[in-house]
Amino acid sequence: MIIYNQANTEKVEYMLDKLGINGYTLWENVQGRGTNTGTPHLGTHAWPEINKSVLTIVDDEIVDKVLDTVKKIDAINEEVGIRAFVWDVVKTV
C-alpha cells in the first residue's frame, strides 16, 4: 500500500508503469496526517492538501524495487509526503 500526497501522482503512476505493475486499486481524497512530522491532509480550508492511496499485490521480487522507488520519491521533497507499507498476502481468490 502506498499513501501519498496528490502532488506525487505523476511520480507514482510513472513508478507503477516502469515496474510493470498493472493491477491496483486507487483511492482518491484520502485524509490523514503522518505519524511524526506530517501536517494534516484533510482537504479543508485550514488543511487543504489531500492524499491518494494505491493498493497493489506484487511478486516478492518487486517489493524492494517499489520501496526503493518510494524512498527516492520521498527524498526529493520530504515535505510533500509518501509512505509505503508491506503485508504478506497468504491467500487470494
With a cut of 80, say whether residue 35 has pLDDT above it: no
With a cut of 80, say whether residue 11 has pLDDT above it: yes
CATH number assigned to the domain with residue range 2-84, chosen from the 4 options 3.90.120.10, 3.30.70.120, 3.30.465.10, 3.40.109.10: 3.30.70.120
For the segment 74-88, the average pLDDT, to the nearest whole number, is 92
Which of 1, 4, 52, 50 has the alpha carbon at shortest distance from 24? 1
Is residue 88 within 8 A of residue 67, CB to CB? The reply is no
- Residue 26: band (very low, low, confident or very high) from pLDDT cuts 50, 70, 90: very high
pTM (whole model) above 0.85: yes
- Residue 41: band (very low, low, confident or very high) from pLDDT cuts 50, 70, 90: confident
With a cut of 80, say whether residue 37 has pLDDT above it: no
- 57 vs 23: CA distance, rounded Å: 8
